[in-house]
Amino acid sequence: MLDTTIRLYGLGWHSFRANGWNLFDVVVASGSFTTTLIAHFYFSSFEILLLQKLFLVSIAFKLVQRVDSLNQLFKTGT
């Protein structure tokens, strides 16, 4: 989450928003953080834990942007 904040500050909103991976990072980081707080401090229902797992697994997709061949594969659909 800290790296996303630094990128937002450094790039500015328009440049930050132009890259879809940056928006993905915001959604995944905030969702993961929020569901972790809810599960830890309030209640941990099956749905909350499932949603938390979904966000945590989505963090692995950040590797796609770092590996050129995977990134190319994902960009071919657009």
Angstrom CA distances, 40 to 1, 29, 33, 36, 46, stand at 19, 16, 11, 6, 13
Average pLDDT of the chain to the nearest whole number: 86
Residue 78 has pLDDT above 60, yes or no: no
What per-residue confidence (pLDDT) applies to 17?
Answer: 92
Give the span between the Cα atoms of 48 and 46, in whole angstroms.
Answer: 6
10-41 pLDDT tens trace: 999 999 999 888 998 899 989 999 999 999 89
The answer for 12, left when phi > 0, alpha when psi is -120 to 50, beta otherwise, is left
Q: How far apart are the first and last CA of the chain?
A: 27
pTM: 0.72
